[in-house]
Amino acid sequence: MTHALIVIDLQNDFCPGGALAVTGGDEIVAGINALMAEFAVVILTQDWHPAGHSSFASSHGNKAPFEKTEMPYGPQVLWPDHCIQGTPGAEFHQGLTTTHADAIIRKGMNPAIDSYSAFFENDHKTPTGLDGYLRTRGIDALTLVGLATDFCVNFSAVDAARLGYSVSVRRDLCRAIDLDGSLAAAETGMHEAGVTLR
């Protein structure tokens, strides 16, 4: 098996002090850096929204951050403005080793569709190209780490398992947002999809 490490969204806005801070988001950086040495291929993902993105509560006028809404592609949590292209909040955490990355996959650029997964936008149809990249490099096993366990790590892991990869999530190297039980639901969903939770 050729194994890739996928580091999900380890960006300033998801770390303490950021616009959509995940508790303890910065605690996992050193462990992830150390883990990179064990993998033939390292891929980083970057949440990369245009200003005014439709996943932002501020784009809906009458909605507050963390409220839910219905989008044409299904339910969507509305977020504080975060990871806006070219802003400091969208940069990787400064402690993250980015020099060994084989590829950086950006997602969430379509103003009308959010993209939690590294593989597909939230319509579950529009691909990011990551599957093609991994297949053409002969990769069949993935380990996922990063932020946030219950959103982007979860959606990426479930999509990867459905696409036929052997998938592990290192829970100790992830941190969760945990809105209304979303972490427990995500762990159940990943388990049911055949993801190994370590």
Within 102-121, the residues that bind ligand VGL by CB under 6 A are 116
* Contact range with ligand VGL by CB under 6 A, out of 27-35, 65-73, 145-153, 178-186: 145-153
Within 8 A by CB and 6+ apart from 125, the residues are none
Does residue number 47 form part of the binding site for ligand VGL (CB under 6 A)?
Answer: yes
Q: Binding segment for ligand VGL among 84-92, 147-155, 157-165, 179-187 (CB under 6 A)?
A: 147-155
Which residue do the tokens 């303490």 mark? 16
By CB under 6 A, the count of residues binding ligand VGL is 9
Q: Positive or negative, the Cα torsion across 32, 25, 124, 55?
A: negative
CA gap 137, 40 in Å, rounded: 11
| # residues near Zn ion by CB under 5 A | 1
From 15, 83, 152, 174, the catalytic residue: 152
Is 63 known to be catalytic? no
Q: Residue 148 binds what, of ligand VGL, Zn ion, none (CB under 5 to 8 Å, by partner type)?
A: ligand VGL
Catalytic residue check, 15: no
Residue pair 24/148 in contact by the 8 Å Cβ criterion: no
What's the Cα-to-Cα distance from 105 to each of 23, 27, 44, 172, rounded to whole Å? 24, 23, 6, 23
The site for ligand VGL (CB under 6 A) is made up of 9, 14, 47, 79, 116, 147-148, 151-152
